[in-house]
Amino acid sequence: MRFCLLLGLGLGLAAAPPVITELQPRGAQKGRPFTLTIAGQNLGDGAKILSSLPATFTPMAPPVGMMENRYATFLVEPKGELEVGVYPIRVQSPDGLSNILLFSIGAFPEINEEESQPGGVQHSNDSIEKAQSLPASAITLNGTLRGAERDVYRLQVKAGERRVFEVDGRRAGSAIDPVIRVMDGAGKQIARSEDGALLSLDPRLDMTFPTAGYYYVEIHDARFSGQTQNFYRFKTGAYAYPTEVYPLGGQRGRQVEISLGSAHVKADLAKAHGAQTFVNLPDSPALPLPLAIGEFPEVNEPVTGSLTLPVTVNARLTKPGEIDKYTLAVTPGEEYIFELQARELGTSKINGVITIFDEKGKRLISAGDTPFAVDVFAVQASSRTAGDPFLNFKVPDGVKQITVAVEDLARRGGQHYAYRLHASKAAQDLQATITTAALNIPAGGTAIVNLSVDRRGYAGPLTIKSLNLPSGIRMSGGIIPPDPPESLTPRLGSRRAMVSLTADADTKINIAELSFAAVGIDAKGNPIERRATGIGYQIGVNGATTQGIVDRQRPLSGAWLGSELPVAMASAQAAHLNLTLEKTEKKESGYEFHFRWTWKPRNAMQAVPSTVTVDVPNFADLRIIGMAVDPKDKQTGTFLVTSTRNTLPSRYDIGINGRLTIDAQQQEIYSEIQQFTLPALDPEEKNANAPPSAAR
C-alpha cells in the first residue's frame, strides 16, 4: 500500500529524461518520406529516435516559432517498403529514455482535419451544415476530438458504390473510444458502429449506397471524454480486410495456417518474439490483427478421445448456446491448470466460462461465472470487467475422468467466438509482469522498478531476482510475503513487488533491457521461477474510476512489443534521500516501526519537502502516523509504520520518495528500499480481539 502526502518545492539545476506528449503527424502513407515533429519536454541536443520502424531519422531544425527543448523534428526516410501497422516511437537523449507513443503507417494518401491544424477554428466541423468535404478517392484523415465534440464530414457517392468507413483509435495508441455514424442528406442516421468485430474498441462500417448523393460521416468519442491522446485516423475507401482470425494463435516455432475470412495466410512463428505476432490480408490497408503464440503442442477442433497434456485446443463456439466439451483421464490427487485465452486478445467476443464435471456429470469447479472475491492486495481488483478465466484443479477422491466444458457466459456464439484452451498438469504456477514501462537510473542515484506477480495456485513467499544486472548497480527489495491458500481466487491472486536499483556515479550500461524473474518454492522444495514480461508502454485513459475501472478506461499497454525493461543511465539528481529503521516497539495492538528520512541535497540552498511518500507493498492494515520534520534539522524527519493483529508476520519492503521542483520541472527522488521484519504475535495475543475472518 502507498501513502501520499503533501510535498515541497525546491530550486537548483538538473537535467531530466525526455518526455513525449505528441507526435505530428500521427501517421504517414507507406513508401514516402515524411517529416516527424515530436512535442514534449527535454528534447534538446543529442536526442535520437528509437523505433522498430525501418527508416532513417535525420534531425532537422524545428519549425520557426517552436520553443527550444520542447520540439524535435526529423526527416524520416523509409529503408524499403513499409508494412501497414503501428510502430513505437521513443526518444533517447544523454539524460535517459522517454515514454513511447505510437505512429501509424497506412496505405492511402493522408489528409488532415482542418479544425485540428494550427490556426484552425474549434467546432468548425461539428454539424452537417459545417461538415468538412472529403475527396471521392480513398484517403486516411488525421483528426482530433476535444471532449464533447463531434466531427462531421461530407462525402458524395454514386448509386451502388461500396464504401468502408473505419477509425483507428485505441489500436493506434489513442485514448478515445470512437463511434462512427453515417447519415443521409437529410441528417437521418442509416448506420452506426462502435466496437467492430476484431477491432477491440474501434469501429468499422462496410456499406453499399443504394442512391447517389451527399452523405455525412460523424465521428465522436463514445463517452465524450477529454483525453490527452485524443487523435484518430479515419480511413475510407473500397478495400478488403480480415473478417475473422481462426485459429487465434499457434505454437512457437511452427508455421500455422490462419483463416482471415476471404483468404488463408501462413504465419511463421519460428522467428516470432514475445507472446504474439500480427497477421493481415496481403496488401490490405486495415491494421494487422494480433495472433497469440503458445508454448504447448496444439490441436484444432474437433477433438476426439482424451486430451494429451500439455495441450492448447483451438476451437470456436459456432452458434448461440453451444458448449464445447473435452475429456481427460485423471487420477485422484493430481493437480491441473486450465486457462482460456480469447477476449483479452482483442479478436474474440467470448466471455468465457470453464466448468469441470466428473464422469457422473457432477459439477466440480468453474471459473468465469462468479464475481471476484474482495482482495485488498489484488493488483487487478480495480477492474470491474473480468478477463479470460483461469483455474487450478485438484482431482478429488473417486474421480478417474473429467469433462472440461467451455461456453460463453451469455450463451452467445458465432464467427467471432473463437478461443484457445490451455491445459497442463501442474499444481502451482505464477506469472510475473514488469509494470514499469522504462527505467532511467540517475548517476549516483536510485530508481524503482514495479512488478506484479499473478499467483496461479502458489501461495508461498516470493522474491524478485535480476537476471542481468550490470556491474555498478545494486538491487534491493523484491519481497512478496506468503498468502493463505484460501485467499487465492481465479485471476485475483496478484501481488505487487518493488525493487530499487542504485547506480554508482560513474556507472555505464551496455545493455538495452533489464530482465527479472519471480522465484518461489513449491511444496516439494523445488524452485518455481518465471521470467517477467514487460508492458512495453502505458498510455493513460481518462475516466471516472470511483466504481472501478472497466475495459474502456484501462490504460493502453504494449506487451505485444515483446520487450522487458528498457533501461538507460540518466543525469545525477539534485539530492539523495536515505531511509533508516531506528527502532521497533511492541504495542498492545501490534508493532510500531520508527523510521527516519534524511535529505542530502547537492545544493545547500535547495529546499526539500517537509513530508515524504511511504510505500509498503502487501502490508495489511497499514497506517503511517506521526510524520514530522526534525525541529533541529529541516532535512530530516521521522514517521511510524504500525501493524495490527491482522497483519501477516513476515519480512516486508519499504521505500520512500519525495518531489523537488528544479527549473520548473518536478523531479522524483527515491530512497533505496529497506526491509523490516514483523514478528509473529503469540496466538493468545493475536486472537484476543481479532475478528475471525480477518486473520492473514
More confident: 620 or 68: 620
CATH 2.60.120.380 matches 110-237: yes
Pick 311 or 386 by higher pLDDT. 311
- Answer whether 200's CB lies under 8 Å from 347's CB: no
Q: Which amino acid is located at 150 in the chain?
A: R
Q: Which pLDDT belongs to residue 379? A: 41
The CATH code of the domain at 19-106 is 2.60.40.10
The yes-or-no verdict on residue 6 having pLDDT over 60 is no
pLDDT reading at 508 higher than 60 = yes
The mean pLDDT of 558-570, rounded to a whole number, is 95
Mean pLDDT of 590-606: 94
Average pLDDT for 26-49? 93
Q: What angle do CA 408, 314, 170 make, to 5 degrees?
A: 65
The tens digit of pLDDT for each residue in 300-350 reads: 999 999 999 999 999 999 999 999 999 999 999 999 999 999 999 999 999
What is the pLDDT at residue 351?
Answer: 94
Of 274-288, 483-497, 666-680, minimum mean pLDDT range: 483-497
DSSP label of 67: P
pLDDT at 94 exceeding the cut of 50: yes
**Is the peptide bond preceding residue 88 cis, with omega within 30 degrees of 0?**
no
pLDDT band, residue 491 (cuts 50/70/90): very low
Does the domain at 298-427 match CATH 3.40.228.10? Answer given as no
- In Å, what is the CA distance from 18 to each residue of 100, 400, 615? 11, 60, 26
Stretch 512-538: mean pLDDT: 93
Peptide bond connecting 18 to the previous residue in cis, omega within 30 degrees of 0: no
Confidence bin at 687 (pLDDT 50/70/90): low
Q: Each residue of 137-148: pLDDT tens digit?
A: 999 999 999 988
pLDDT at residue 682 above 80? no
Instruction: Give the CA distances from residue 344 to residues 248, 349, 381, 389, in Å, rounded to whole numbers and listed in that order.
Output: 11, 9, 16, 10
Encoded amino acid at 17, one letter: P
pLDDT tens string 359-377: 999 999 999 987 655 444 4
DSSP state letters, 263-292 = -EEEEE-SS--SSEEEE--TT-SSPPEEEE
The pLDDT of residue 327 = 97
Residue 372: predicted pLDDT:
52
pLDDT band at 547 (very low <50, low <70, confident <90, very high): very low
DSSP string, 22-45: EEESSEEETTS-EEEEEEEES--T
User: Which pLDDT belongs to residue 376?
Assistant: 43
Got the DSSP string for 587-612?
Answer: ETTEEEEEEEEEEEESSTT----SS-
DSSP 8-class letter at 147:
S
Give the strands of the sheet with 48-51, arranged side by side.
Answer: 27-29, 96-106, 85-93, 48-51
Listed residue (612, 640, 609, 637) closest to 624, CA to CA: 640
- pLDDT of res. 200: 87
Task: Give the domain ranges of the chain.
Answer: 2-10+574-684, 19-106, 110-237, 249-294, 298-427, 430-570
The whole-model pTM stands at 0.91
* Average pLDDT rounded to a whole number, residues 285-291: 97
**Of all residues in the chain, what percent are helix, strand and coil, respectively (each to 5)?**
5, 50, 50
In angstroms, the CA 607 to CA 9 distance is 6
Mean pLDDT of the chain: 90
Least confident of 459-463, 533-537, 547-551, 692-696: 692-696
Confidence of residue 93 (pLDDT cuts 50, 70, 90): very high
Architecture label for domain 2-10+574-684: Sandwich (2.60)
* Per-residue confidence band for 4, with pLDDT thresholds at 50, 70 and 90: very low
pLDDT band at 685 (very low <50, low <70, confident <90, very high): low
pLDDT of residue 80: 83
546 pLDDT higher than 60:
no
Residue 343's φ and ψ, nearest 5 degrees, are: -60, -40
Q: Could you say which of 3.40.50, 2.160.20, 3.30.1360, 2.60.40 is the CATH number of the domain covering 430-570?
A: 2.60.40
Confidence of residue 9 (pLDDT cuts 50, 70, 90): very low
Same fold, 19-106 and 298-427: no
What pLDDT score was predicted for residue 374? Answer: 47
Sheet holding 590-601, edge to edge: 575-587, 590-601, 633-642, 623-630
pLDDT tens digits along 172-208: 999 999 999 999 999 999 999 999 999 989 999 999 9
Residue 3 predicted with pLDDT over 50: no
Number of H helices, E strands in the chain: 1, 55
Span 29-35, average pLDDT: 94
Residue predicted with more confidence, 379 or 324: 324
pLDDT digits (tens, 9 = 90+) for 208-267: 999 999 999 999 999 999 999 999 999 999 999 999 999 999 999 999 999 999 999 999
Inform me whether the pLDDT recorded for 385 exceeds 80: no
**What whole-number percentage of the chain has pLDDT above 90?**
78
